[in-house]
Amino acid sequence: MAPKRKAEGSTSSKKTKKTTSKSKNDSELLSLDQIQDLGDQIIDSFKVNNFVELLDQLKKVKTILESNEHVETESLGRNIAVILFKCFQKLLKDGQMINKKSNDEKKKVVAKWLLDKYSSFKKIIAEYIQGKLSFESSLQLDLLEINLNLIKLESQYLKSSSKDLYFPNVTYKELIEAIITSKAGEISSDGTSTNFIVLEFIEVFKKNWDLQFYFFNCLSDPLEEWKQTKSEDELRLIFSNVYTIIRTGLLFDSEKLEEQPTWIQGKLPSIAYKQSTFKAQYQKCIITILTYPLLSNQYKAILLVLHKRIIPYMTQPQGLMDFLTDSYDVADDSVVPILALNSLYELMKNYNLEYPDFYTKLYSLLTPELLYTRYRSRFFRLCDLFLSSTHLSASLVASFIKKLARLSIGSSASGVVIVIPFIYNLLKRHPTCMIMLHNIEGSKKKDYTDPYDNNEKNPMNTNAIGSSLWELETLMSHYHPNIATLAKIFGEPFRKHSYNMEDFLDWSYISLLESEKTRRYKTMAALEFEEFDRLFDSNDKKETDRALIEGWTI
């Protein structure tokens, strides 16, 4: 949380005694001493009407800060908020805001009036957090801290009896809605939010189970409502704020939720420890925000963590099928389908998702751009897993082998380093495809054409099994010595074990250059040279030709 500021303002009262702004609203602000007097009167003589003046002053401060940065006004607003907090804290502890069973109608009316002003105070705090001031004000962080402390107070003093377990859902929901719809930040390149209020809230959120459980419980309905009422830009900002919060990790992994720390004191209601309830609310929130109109970087960000940080917390991950199949079929971005592979495979493996065109789409991802993308390592790890079954058709596997061999011709050296061992492993795993290495029909015909159809989208119809891997022989003459040496493995008997793909997936131009720099040679190359003092030798027989060169002398 933000460091606590001095509420009394004893050291800064001289600076903030009177504001000097020419603004009309600024001229209507009270001094710090006047604000302090109003607070003292509430506590000492219970002058409840002073609440109206203090709340009005807090609203005026917000109006000023929305138009310009005013340090003195910000300090005044902080002190007003702290004074109001202390007043409500005392009233809550004294029980003056609870409508207890009593025949005193006057006390009931006063308690109702105080609760109304208390609600107004929380509403103003939410407006500060939700709104976008002219600068990143520390006052917003202070109000966030005050609101979280109000949740603690309510859990202790607004319950009907001392034995009841109570979590103030209403207050927490107002705070969550203000944080999620806050406009104090922007969407970063990795899909997260730069909102300093969200980042501050995360510091408390990630440590307390009750804040996590009720977060999704309170947010599920508003997310659905916002989809109908907010603009696309607002929805993207909401998604960014929610994603930034949930990607920090949850305490749900713990075997004993009852032992997890909580923000409020004491044990929570029993429903807060039911995994099925949490998963149901969590799933509802996730599926709702995935229907929002997302930016490309947000699409990629959620797919990167979906299989590890989201699917395990859902009660029915099958609900993500539509989102993932749509992501897998994205045609205008080659990266999104690759990132969708992890989660799609998770659903196919553990949740019986049926996707008949899976390998057809996987084959379509083999494009020249694939070997240049930053996510190629992720793709080849998964592709190696998908093609590991020995029950796959030889025609299907041959299409993948031939396509990768064809792509390697125009790929970077770092991409070819991955393709060669990958093809070698496939041939070892599927020996029926070895015919592609031993096909010599092409050498007998002068007008031979490769029967492989590189434009065919269905891997079962490419006729790759009737082709040959002449591309691999081409790689044996590659300009990079490491590639040429590696490719020569196909000209030798297949007696070596399969390659460990992890040794090749992270290669790049930098690693290739480093391997050359650190290579040890058995013998050093012999060099012989002769130094000359002049450009032309005076005894040169072509003296006549040299004389024709103007401006040159011997």
Residue of higher predicted confidence among 553 and 186: 186
Least confident of 1-10, 318-327, 506-515: 1-10
pLDDT band at 550 (very low <50, low <70, confident <90, very high): low
pLDDT band at 7 (very low <50, low <70, confident <90, very high): very low
Closest to 145 in 3D by CA, of 78, 68, 210, 91: 78
Give, as one character, the DSSP assignment of residue 267.
P
Determine what percent of the chain is predicted with pLDDT higher than 90: 35
pLDDT band at 551 (very low <50, low <70, confident <90, very high): low
* Contact of 469 with 490, CB cutoff 8 Å: yes
* Contact of 147 with 132, CB cutoff 8 Å: no
pLDDT band at 9 (very low <50, low <70, confident <90, very high): very low
Angstrom distances, CA of residue 7 to CA of 13, 142, 416: 11, 11, 65
Q: Is pLDDT of 13 > 50?
A: no
Q: Is pLDDT of 345 > 60?
A: yes
Give 306-314 contacts, CB < 8 A, sequence gap 24+.
Answer: 306/342, 306/343, 307/342, 307/343, 307/345, 307/346, 309/246, 309/247, 309/249, 310/246, 310/286, 311/343, 311/346, 311/347, 313/250, 313/252, 313/278, 313/279, 313/282, 313/283, 314/279, 314/282, 314/283, 314/286
- How deeply is 283 buried, as exposed, middle or buried, from its count of CB atoms within 10 A (0-12, 13-18, 19+)? buried
How high is the mean pLDDT of the chain?
83
Span 376-415, pLDDT tens digits: 888 999 999 999 888 899 999 999 999 999 999 988 888 8
d(CA 397, CA 346): 22
| Entry pTM | 0.78
Read off the tokens for 99.
């409508």
d(CA 380, CA 369): 14
Residue partners of 227: CB distance under 8 A and separation at least 6: 235, 288, 291, 292
Residue partners of 13: CB distance under 8 A and separation at least 6: 32, 33
pLDDT, residue 127, reads 92
pLDDT, residue 523, reads 63
Give 48-53 contacts, CB < 8 A, sequence gap 24+.
Answer: 48/110, 48/113, 48/114, 48/117, 51/84, 51/87, 51/114, 51/117, 52/117
pLDDT, residue 230, reads 92
Read off the tokens for 98.
């609870």
- How deeply is 406 buried, as exposed, middle or buried, from its count of CB atoms within 10 A (0-12, 13-18, 19+)? buried
Q: Is pLDDT of 5 > 50?
A: no
* Contact of 161 with 149, CB cutoff 8 Å: no
* Contact of 205 with 256, CB cutoff 8 Å: no
Instruction: List the Cα angle 107/111/117 in 5-degree steps.
Output: 145
- How deeply is 98 buried, as exposed, middle or buried, from its count of CB atoms within 10 A (0-12, 13-18, 19+)? middle
pLDDT, residue 101, reads 57
Residue of higher predicted confidence among 42 and 440: 42
Q: Is residue 187 helix, strand or coil?
A: strand
One-letter identity of residue 158? L
pLDDT band at 282 (very low <50, low <70, confident <90, very high): very high
pLDDT, residue 171, reads 94
pLDDT band at 286 (very low <50, low <70, confident <90, very high): very high
pLDDT, residue 161, reads 60
pLDDT, residue 391, reads 87
Determine what percent of the chain is predicted with pLDDT higher than 70: 84
Span 176-215, pLDDT tens digits: 999 999 988 889 988 899 999 999 999 999 999 999 999 9
d(CA 319, CA 165): 33
- Hey, which of 24-28, 410-414, 452-456, 481-485 has the most confident mean pLDDT? 452-456
Region 280-299: what's the mean pLDDT?
Answer: 91
Closest to 19 in 3D by CA, of 33, 31, 8: 31
Span 98-154, pLDDT tens digits: 765 556 778 888 888 889 999 999 999 999 998 877 678 889 999 999 999 999 999
Q: Is residue 193 helix, strand or coil?
A: strand
d(CA 340, CA 301): 11
d(CA 201, CA 263): 12
pLDDT, residue 444, reads 56
Q: Is pLDDT of 4 > 80?
A: no
pLDDT, residue 108, reads 82
* Contact of 260 with 254, CB cutoff 8 Å: yes
d(CA 300, CA 374): 12
Residue of higher predicted confidence among 471 and 70: 471
Span 17-66, pLDDT tens digits: 333 344 445 557 888 888 889 888 888 877 878 889 999 999 999 888 88
